[in-house]
Amino acid sequence: MTHSLPPLNWLRSFEAAARHSSFSAAAKELNMTPSAISYQVKNLESYFEAILFERKARGVALTEVGRAYLPSVLKAFSDLSAASAHMFNPAGTSSLSIRVAVSFGTLWLAPRIPDFLQKHPHININLHSSLWIGDDGLQECDLEIRYGDGNWQGVESEVLIHETIELVGSPKLPFQPKSAKDLLDCPLVHILGVEDNWSRLFNRENLSLPISSRQIKADTSLMALEMVKAGAGYALLFKSFTRSLIEEERLTVPFNINLPTEQANHLLYPKGKTHQRHEVKLFADWLLSQEV
């Protein structure tokens, strides 16, 4: 049985606009004008008789229908690219070089890599971890995942994950605080470079950052997490780092703080070379389809 499908270029415009949350950014990637992207998306919406995007003053946002439809479109393009590579270069393999901060790479990316390798066995993955990733270029990597505000010179970026901060402790700790005030007498684990999260939390609750309480410092979230698991104290960590450990009851959440961040994890490309190779496009699409 054959099924009627909308034109491929309409779907490509939808997919690019959804990833970038912007018609302008989608147009830049596809070498089109923003009005052409808008026109094709409107055609797709008319075809389905459904609104796929909310138009905002700055960019666009997927509607509930658009969010539900996007994973299938991403998978379709990914499968098509993989099939093309396999059919027309069946004996060959290719490689991707990805640079990532050690904590994000270990706690979030590495456990997901087997899924990508299973879907794309013809692509070899080279992961390069760094303690801290600065504002320099990509240093000959195809892609980079970097945490920050998205304003870096010499690269193009798109948001991968908007992070939220969570308070976590260990079941081994005898005292479980019920409020920020209770934390004033607790051992606190600080992470170099993001110590202001404790200040932000206490300031929000009209409390002063405790000076007399025991403070432990770590240079990465990964090390801080290991200390918390061992019962050294409480830490403020990204939810993307802690979810599985909380589900396994290896970490506790004494109380919800819901501390948002102004920054995010971004996917970076060399400037002017966005999705230059099909391997880069496949990996980027796969990353953006992952659940946080």
Query: Residue 122: which CATH number?
Result: 3.40.190.10
Is 291 a domain residue?
Answer: no
**Rg of the Cα atoms in the chain:** 22
Is 292 a domain residue?
Answer: no
Is 27 a domain residue?
Answer: yes
- Give me the number of domains the chain comprises: 3
Quote the pLDDT of residue 273: 55
- Same domain for 99 and 86, yes or no, is no
- Residue 54 belongs to a domain with what CATH number? 1.10.10.10
Is 74 a domain residue?
Answer: yes
- Same domain for 69 and 21, yes or no, is yes
- Same domain for 14 and 67, yes or no, is yes
Quote the pLDDT of residue 275: 47
Is 227 a domain residue?
Answer: yes
Quote the pLDDT of residue 176: 86
CB atoms within 10 A of CB 71: 12
Is 244 a domain residue?
Answer: yes
* Domain region containing 234: 164-260
- Same domain for 252 and 202, yes or no, is yes
Q: What is the residue-wise DSSP string for the chain?
A: -------HHHHHHHHHHHHHT-HHHHHHHHT--HHHHHHHHHHHHHHHTS--EEE-SSSEEE-HHHHHHHHHHHHHHHHHHHHHHHHHSTT--EEEEEEEEHHHIIIIIGGGHHHHHHH-TTEEEEEEEESS--SS--TT-SEEEEEE-S--TTEEEEEEEEEEEEEEB-TT-S---SSTGGGGGS-EEEETT-THHHHHHHHHTT-PPPSSS-EEEESSHHHHHHHHHHTS-EEEEEHHHHHHHHHTTSSB-SS---EEEEEEEEEEEETT-TT-SHHHHHHHHHHHHS--
- Same domain for 126 and 108, yes or no, is yes
- Same domain for 75 and 36, yes or no, is yes
- Same domain for 199 and 220, yes or no, is yes
Is 281 a domain residue?
Answer: no
**Which residues, including other chains, have CB under 8 Å from residue 164's CB and lie 6 or more apart?**
238, 239, 258, 259, 260, 261
Question: In one letter, which amino acid is 206?
Answer: N
pTM above 0.85, yes or no: no
Q: Return per-residue pLDDT of the chain as tens, 292 residues.
A: 345 789 999 999 999 898 888 899 889 888 899 999 999 999 999 999 999 999 988 889 899 999 899 888 887 877 776 666 656 655 556 788 888 988 999 999 999 999 999 888 888 888 888 765 555 555 567 889 988 888 888 788 888 888 889 999 999 888 889 999 999 888 999 998 776 789 889 999 999 877 666 678 898 899 999 999 999 999 999 998 998 899 889 999 999 998 888 888 998 887 765 446 778 888 988 888 887 6
Which of residues 35, 66, 90 is at a domain's end? 90
Which of residues 49, 70, 90 is at a domain's end? 90
- Same domain for 85 and 107, yes or no, is no
- Same domain for 142 and 196, yes or no, is no
User: How far apart, in whole angstroms, are the C-alpha atoms of residue 47 and residue 50?
Assistant: 8
Is 217 a domain residue?
Answer: yes
